[in-house]
Structure 1
């Protein structure tokens, strides 16, 4: 039995569901929870002809979750659609974006999202657990930030740039979020706010 995200288990032949639809502005998780069962997205079935697509809902077999879900996130971004992941209770909005085109968000439970919106970055940090042991933002070939929960209830945070990895320990998820959102927007003030060591 594999486990995906906050409280959702995928067993054997069970499926993983994603929803895509159009919104005029960014939405939060509460709104997404209400709207996703009625999702509709033109061209969705054409883009994923081999998958189980109905309106704006796609059902993905457990053994293909990482591959297909990452393609769905990219499709939503390309088409200017919202994508909601009810298993992780995460919304992928079109905006607001950070400072780096092509930045990737990676999680320990297999999610990869290119050009994640800042709301998604904030929310995904709250999903860290034994099943999702890290979150990272990566600008390949340039720099990255990664965080993992530690055994004492805090967080080990790493930042790499110019071939140098610096690390710090933070007690509070709020501080982790400040660092990640600062990094995503190109603000390096977090480097002066905490004690970092090589």
Structure 2
């Protein structure tokens, strides 16, 4: 079985709906002939170029996690959007959090360096038995993670936990963390 990612240029951040529509429209067209965009040379897997600079990367399911991290990194380096149709997630170039080198990890194997704030927001809605956690990590400093049932865990020296009731609260805590605000630490009853 194979999986796909598509990368292309967008002048501003786009929604998942816009990314999905673009992906589906491009998939209905014929591949381009001629020179491929520069980014195509840096992408792993089978690369197919489409009109208007769209590039489709096809990879084996077994190598998806490792290869998709390479695709996300190359796309960001070239200022390109990356759409993951399997997870229905779009990786925009901006806006980013304040921590350079922050990583986003999911329980289903996705790892993204310097995730955009919209991706963090959307990934939190994908928690399930197949994706049992989401974490944003600043290695050597601190991290925030959540598991289904909305148990937040924060570690900066000492690990503390808090239960929250709604996904919206989880999303706000992750947004606060990624943007450098510490208000999430006073908003909940933490135990450790």
Give me the TM-score of the superposition, normalised by structure 1: 0.87
SS of the residue aligned with 2:173?
Answer: helix
Secondary structure in structure 1 of the residue aligned to 2:125: helix
Name the residue aligned to 2:79: 80
* Structure-2 residue corresponding to 1:129: 128
Select the residue among 169, 174, 177 that pairs with 1:175: 169
Q: Distance in 2 between matches of 1:51 and 1:129?
A: 28
Number of aligned residue pairs: give it.
179
Measured in 1, the distance between the counterparts of 2:87 and 2:73 equals 17
Cα deviation digits, residues 3-36 of structure 1 (max 9, x gap) = xxxxxxxxxxx10100000000000011101112
TM norm structure 2: 0.90
| In structure 2, C-alpha distance between the alignment counterparts of 1:174 and 1:184, rounded to whole Å | 15
Offset of residue 194 of structure 1: 0.6
Residue 88 of structure 2: aligned partner: 89
Alpha-carbon distance between aligned partners in 1 of 2:186 and 2:41, rounded to the nearest angstrom: 49
Equivalent pair of 1:20/1:36 in contact (CA under 8 Å): no
Per the alignment, residue 8 of structure 1 pairs with none
- Please list every run of 5 or more consecutive structure 2 residues that lacks an aligned counterpart in the other structure: 50-54
Question: 1:45 Cα deviation (Å)?
Answer: 3.1
- Is 37-46 or 71-80 further displaced after alignment? 37-46
Cα RMSD (Å): 1.4
Q: Does 1:195 align with 2:189?
A: yes
Q: Partner residue of 2:109?
A: 110
Give CA-to-partner distance per residue, 1:140-188, whole Å, 9 cap, x none.
0000001001xxxx31100011x11110011110000000000000000
1:81-101 Cα distance to aligned partner (Å, 9 max, x none): 000000100000000001100
Runs of 4+ in 1 over 3 A off after TM superposition: none
Within 5 A, what are the aligned runs for 1:149-168? 149=148, 154-161=149-156, 163-168=157-162
Which sections of structure 1, spanning at least 5 residues, go unmatched?
Answer: 1-13
Map Cα deviations across residues 40-96 of structure 1 (whole Å, 9 max, x no partner).
871233113x62110100111111111100100000111100000001000000000
CA contact (8 A) 2:39 2:78 kept: no
